[in-house]
Amino acid sequence: MQTSHSESDLLRALRQHFGYDSFRPLQLEIIEHALSGRDAVVLMPTGGGKSICYQLPAVVRTGLTVVISPLIALMKDQVDALRANGIAASCLNSSLTLDEFDAVTQGLFNGETDLLYLSPERLFSGGCLSYLATLDIGMFAVDEAHCVSSWGHHFRPEYQRLRAIKEHFPETPVMALTATADKAVRADIGESLGLVDPALFVASFDRPNLSMTVLPGRKKWEQFLPLVRRYPGHSGIIYCQSRNGTEHLAEKLQAHGFDAQAYHAGLDTETRNRVQSAFIQGECPIVCATIAFGMGIDKADVRFVVHWNMPGNLESYYQEIGRAGRDGLPAETVLFYSYRDVQTQLGFLEDIVDDGYREIQQAKIKRIQDFAEAQVCRRKILLGYFSEIQDETCGNCDVCRNPPSYMDGTTVAQMALSAVIRTKERCSITTLIDLLKGSRTPGVTEQGFDKIKTFGVGRQHTNFAWQLFIQQLIQLGLLELDYKDNHTLKLTPLSRPVLFDGKRVDLVSPDTVRLRQEEQRKVKVSAQRTIAGPPNEPLYECLRTLRTKIAAEIGKPAYVVFSNASLEDMAARQPTNREEFLTVHGVGEHKALLYADVFLKAIADFSKNPATTE
């Protein structure tokens, strides 16, 4: 079904239903594409605003949009948030009562529902697919689509069956969305879902407001305490490896007077829900959690994320730190790195029977380890890992803030890059080093690499030095490591100017690295700039109190009424009438209808007599 909507129509709809003034990068393009009836794969970082990409088309077009989403809790939050905006959304899952179920199916039957959320398991049970075929469906959206890929880190077998959607509904457009995808996963998503010539939308994964720091994993508490003290009353998440670790840390924080709770999969559902909602409402700002925590938590004002232990791959790391600073304000992230965590992560892989899969996961551990030990801008490494090559350094990571001294590494880089070209991009890191050092190892001779011109040109550098150089070339985006092709090295668009135009490459010398590694063992957290204290303007507090009251009355989490960002904007603008109220961030027509009167009254009372209003 083709519908035509102009840009201004869509902008008006965004304002009317969601209360936002402009689209985030790529949202408009994706929405227009979806409305044109074609398939798409959408990659956006956590917090990038994926949901609007299918929610807005769902609202403006006729027909139902079916959203496949992996977690029931996540669905419920999304449906609540949509309904709070006056959008007809529902979900079908096992937690519904019979009455609720009837209400949902009645809405579907009457064609009144814009969005229906389903888990993949639900889709494949009880004739659900044939039931859907009786409805007028405008689009399918598959959220967390990286779960289809065995290359990914969240593989879910039932996601692979989702190809059935395209088989049953060949004419209906499908949008697959994910926050996490390296190149291999990216290709897998379209294929596994059987999408037809899907457009690929890749939003920038850069989150410049997140600072990044890696600290040695020793005396963590001493290093951590000053950090948590910088954020009184603010929210933060500390990811720990073990359940015990979360509990131990939460107790220690409580003993030091912080509001902290543990969260892990071993707690009963009720406790988990309680901790999660206390966190979302800001009642318990600090959560010490295992990775079980966070998927789908839409809390914009998390000010810090700490990894007490090193995660097993950069995808998880980036997704987890991505939960900080979704509101775009400065947020701090810290990774404690120790070799012990590397061993632990490798240990987790021992039970994996599939050799190929295990090797990929091992390689992923190696990449995050390299990241943690890196001497170049961490953001560059991270973005490069997601195939987003950046020429500039970021200025907001520990390496940029405290840069090592560099040597002119142009010749070294040229040697390596030229060897990679001459092997026709068929050598691994080890083979490349052997080749450059002129060692006739089997890896070198079997492929005839001892006959090429660059054989032995790098003799003067040690093995350790070459390891470091090549690692840095990868991290700088001058070389790429291809998992899908036996971990061989490939050139990138940045390689050419270095090889052919002599573009200068700065590398950290092996001596400097040795010194820094020694120093790192002694480092303390450097004093960092403190961000503003909790927003405590009296009007903001008064609006928060009102929000808590309303939330309690309707029995929903506070953010369903208004986000903190909305309240901050409201406190800043102090609207005096409905029209002005509608210009507040996150206030669409439905919320204005529900809440304009009470909030306007609170603001008016406050401005008459700020001292006596609570």
Binding residue for ligand ADP, selected from 30, 31, 34, 44, defined by CB under 6 A: 44
DSSP 8-state assignment for residue 494: T
Taking the least distance from each CB to ligand ADP, the nearer of 51 and 495 is 51
* Region of 47-55, 63-71, 450-458, 517-525 interacting with ligand ADP (CB under 6 A): 47-55
The least distance separating ligand ADP from the CB of residue 53, rounded to whole angstroms, comes to: 8
- 127 Ramachandran zone, left/alpha/beta (phi>0; psi -120 to 50): left
State how far the Cα of 185 lies from the Cα of 1, in Å rounded to an integer.
30
Return the one option of ligand ADP, Zn ion, none that residue 51 interacts with (CB less than 5 to 8 A, by type). Answer: ligand ADP
Taking the least distance from each CB to ligand ADP, the nearer of 326 and 590 is 326
Taking the least distance from each CB to ligand ADP, the nearer of 305 and 412 is 305
Q: Which two tokens stand for residue 444?
A: 């070198």
Residue 587 engages ligand ADP in binding (rule: CB under 6 A):
no
Site map (CB under 6 A) of ligand ADP, residues 239-278, x = contact: ----------------------------------------
Residues 47, 290, 121, CA angle at the centre, nearest 5°?
70
Return the one option of Zn ion, ligand ADP, none that residue 394 interacts with (CB less than 5 to 8 A, by type). Answer: Zn ion
Q: Are 332 and 213 in contact (CB under 8 A)?
A: yes
The least distance separating ligand ADP from the CB of residue 182, rounded to whole angstroms, comes to: 18
Residue 20 engages ligand ADP in binding (rule: CB under 6 A):
yes
Q: Which two tokens stand for residue 123?
A: 């889709």
Question: Helix, strand, or coil here: 438?
Answer: coil
Residue type, 427: C
Question: Helix, strand, or coil here: 339?
Answer: helix
- Bridge partners of 520, per DSSP, are none
Site map (CB under 5 A) of Zn ion, residues 362-381, x = contact: ---------------x-x--
The least distance separating ligand ADP from the CB of residue 328, rounded to whole angstroms, comes to: 9
State how far the Cα of 318 lies from the Cα of 307, in Å rounded to an integer.
11
Taking the least distance from each CB to ligand ADP, the nearer of 177 and 546 is 177
The least distance separating ligand ADP from the CB of residue 49, rounded to whole angstroms, comes to: 3
Question: Helix, strand, or coil here: 553?
Answer: helix
Residue 298 engages ligand ADP in binding (rule: CB under 6 A):
yes
Binding residue for ligand ADP, selected from 47, 198, 294, 311, defined by CB under 6 A: 47
Nearest one of 3, 120, 21, 7 to 66, comparing CA atoms: 120
Residue 54 engages ligand ADP in binding (rule: CB under 6 A):
no
CA-to-CA separations, 194 to 41, 57, 314, 449, in angstroms, rounded: 12, 22, 28, 40
Q: Which residue, chain included where needed, has tokens 């596994």?
A: 192
CB atoms within 10 A of CB 68: 24
* Region of 48-56, 408-416, 494-502, 503-511 interacting with ligand ADP (CB under 6 A): 48-56
State how far the Cα of 59 lies from the Cα of 611, in Å rounded to an integer.
44
Residue 48 engages ligand ADP in binding (rule: CB under 6 A):
yes
Q: Are 29 and 188 in contact (CB under 8 A)?
A: no
State how far the Cα of 583 lies from the Cα of 575, in Å rounded to an integer.
9
Taking the least distance from each CB to ligand ADP, the nearer of 508 and 565 is 565
Taking the least distance from each CB to ligand ADP, the nearer of 121 and 298 is 298
Taking the least distance from each CB to ligand ADP, the nearer of 559 and 606 is 559
3-state secondary structure string across 99-132? HHHHHHHHHHHCCCCCEEEECHHHHCCCCHHHHH
State how far the Cα of 562 lies from the Cα of 591, in Å rounded to an integer.
9
Positions in 396-455 near Zn ion (CB under 5 A):
397, 400
* Region of 19-27, 310-318, 528-536, 605-613 interacting with ligand ADP (CB under 6 A): 19-27
CA–centroid distance for 5 within its chain: 30
Q: Are 45 and 322 in contact (CB under 8 A)?
A: yes
Taking the least distance from each CB to ligand ADP, the nearer of 50 and 364 is 50
The least distance separating ligand ADP from the CB of residue 293, rounded to whole angstroms, comes to: 15
Q: Are 419 and 427 in contact (CB under 8 A)?
A: yes
Residue 326 engages ligand ADP in binding (rule: CB under 6 A):
yes
Site map (CB under 6 A) of ligand ADP, residues 159-188, x = contact: --------------------x---------
Residue 394 engages Zn ion in binding (rule: CB under 5 A):
yes
Return the one option of ligand ADP, Zn ion, none that residue 279 interacts with (CB less than 5 to 8 A, by type). Answer: none
The least distance separating ligand ADP from the CB of residue 402, rounded to whole angstroms, comes to: 31
State how far the Cα of 437 lies from the Cα of 120, in Å rounded to an integer.
53
Return the one option of Zn ion, ligand ADP, none that residue 400 interacts with (CB less than 5 to 8 A, by type). Answer: Zn ion
State how far the Cα of 580 lies from the Cα of 530, in Å rounded to an integer.
33
Phi, psi of 75, deg, nearest 5: -60, -45
Question: Helix, strand, or coil here: 200?
Answer: strand
Residues touching ligand ADP, count (CB under 6 A): 16
Return the one option of Zn ion, ligand ADP, none that residue 17 interacts with (CB less than 5 to 8 A, by type). Answer: none
- 397 Ramachandran zone, left/alpha/beta (phi>0; psi -120 to 50): beta
Taking the least distance from each CB to ligand ADP, the nearer of 46 and 431 is 46
DSSP 239-262: E-SSHHHHHHHHHHHHHTT--EEE
Return the one option of Zn ion, ligand ADP, none that residue 326 interacts with (CB less than 5 to 8 A, by type). Answer: ligand ADP
The least distance separating ligand ADP from the CB of residue 385, rounded to whole angstroms, comes to: 19
Number of H helices, E strands in the chain: 29, 17
* Region of 42-50, 63-71, 89-97, 182-190 interacting with ligand ADP (CB under 6 A): 42-50
Positions in 384-403 near ligand ADP (CB under 6 A):
none
Burial grade of 98 (CB within 10 A; 0-12, 13-18, 19 or more): exposed
* Region of 44-52, 210-218, 311-319, 414-422 interacting with ligand ADP (CB under 6 A): 44-52
Taking the least distance from each CB to ligand ADP, the nearer of 23 and 336 is 23
Q: Which residue, chain included where needed, has tokens 């506070």?
A: 558
Taking the least distance from each CB to ligand ADP, the nearer of 50 and 230 is 50
The least distance separating Zn ion from the CB of residue 510, rounded to whole angstroms, comes to: 21
Q: Which two tokens stand for residue 77?
A: 């939050």
Residues that bind Zn ion (CB under 5 A): 377, 379, 393-394, 397, 400
Residues engaged in binding ligand ADP (CB under 6 A): 20, 23-24, 27, 44, 46-52, 179, 298, 300, 326
